[in-house]
Structure 1
């Protein structure tokens, strides 16, 4: 009996230790670059508010009735993506950056409607994500009008969908490498737009500094951000208006 109790105590102790280590690891996030975030807060073309479960960016000028629910990469601060979408929002598109459960997209089971509710005036919604966030976005694509992948690729098959898809990748990405993006191309519709930003790496899709395992970019972060924004803006402008409420 004593031996069984000791064994049980050891098992419980190990489980608790593993859980604590995991929680510490999951909550050690890659923080957004302060200067990049402040530049967005100070931009009078963009309104930013924290909705608790997400960061909501809305245009202060004319809105186009379109929005993107965007899911961050693993353990990346949601605010790190404000700079990525600054110009997109300034041009009229609403962007809702989610705060995934435990900072890991695959733990977040909330539907798109949870985040769409923060912008009731938007009628056309795309879902997107960076890295692991993009993998989760693919799983939610059936409920959206568009799918945006930044430094990411699908693990599930959406190739038979009529959804509009934009994949933006970096030629110097050390995590979602060009080879991985190419290998998963068949999971996207044949009409998907595949854009490669030459010289950009994985961390160029946000503003949170260097990321372990990434390659060194050969263009400036500002140049990479401009090219990513241009690609997203062009794609959003071509998204068809929603035929009605889903």
Structure 2
């Protein structure tokens, strides 16, 4: 028997292999930890809401703002409160965008039309990590009788998925599109695009239009960019914005009001 085939040699070879496998495993685990840590850090550093825009909503006597388990709730107060049948709108934020960043843009529909708005707060600031259905969100406002779903960017894709299995009257896409087929649902759909959107291009919205009902309404807000649907500053890769936040709010409020009526 040669030394290479002796029991001692075989044990040494097996031990060497185990050390190599252990080293490879530890290296892979270390790399995975680094990736997870990096992803978590990235996801938890969202685009923050503009303080001035947010404070303007908090100072509006016609709107009540509260933090609830389901998200951020905006309710009409006093003369702005809805009369008769109450309407609600659930808004799903775009990827890594602070929920509070949508407060000002969504406040117009609350003040002028008495609509209750719930802005969700997804885990890790990413809509696809929020697996709650519409019925788990509308508990924030049990008095609301009719619900619509809205979503910005990635949030719109998530809203479309939610709408497929929910009792909802319509869907609003804000610089977004559907990845699933809603063409036979009979839902009222409003797609609002931004002229200078550098992240969700008008061509993409056009290419996916066949996934929406035939009577879906398509609107483009001139001078707006992707980040104009919220108030959180410039976003990497986006186009130029040439309208003010107040002008954006005015146009968006008019479009939303017409849909919910």
Residue 45 (1) aligns with residue 62 (2) = yes
Residue 111 (1) aligns with residue 138 (2) = no
Show the counterpart of 1:160: 184
Equivalent positions of 1:214-233 (< 5 A) are 214-233=238-257
User: What SS does the corresponding residue of 1:88 show, helix, strand or coil?
Assistant: helix
Q: Which runs of 5+ in 1 are unaligned?
A: 238-246
Q: Aligned equivalents of 1:52 and 1:22: distance in 2?
A: 25
Compute the RMSD of aligned alpha carbons: 1.0
Q: Which runs of 5+ in 2 are unaligned?
A: 1-17
Report the Cα offset of residue 209 of structure 1: 0.6
Residue correspondences, number: 237
Report the Cα offset of residue 39 of structure 1: 0.2
1:181-217 deviation digits (Å, cap 9, x = unpaired): 1111111101111111111110110000111110002
Show the counterpart of 2:220: 196
Equivalent positions of 1:1-246 (< 5 A) are 1-61=18-78, 62-63=81-82, 64-90=85-111, 91-142=113-164, 143=166, 144-237=168-261
1:14-33 deviation digits (Å, cap 9, x = unpaired): 11111000000010100000
Which structure carries more helix by proportion?
2
Structure with higher Rg: it is 2
Report the Cα offset of residue 50 of structure 1: 0.3
Structure 1 residue ranges (4+ consecutive) displaced by more than 3 angstroms after TM superposition: none
TM score, norm. by length of structure 1: 0.94
Moved more, 218-227 or 155-164: 218-227
Q: Aligned equivalents of 1:112 and 1:21: distance in 2?
A: 31
Q: Aligned equivalents of 1:208 and 1:156: distance in 2?
A: 28
User: What SS does the corresponding residue of 1:18 show, helix, strand or coil?
Assistant: helix
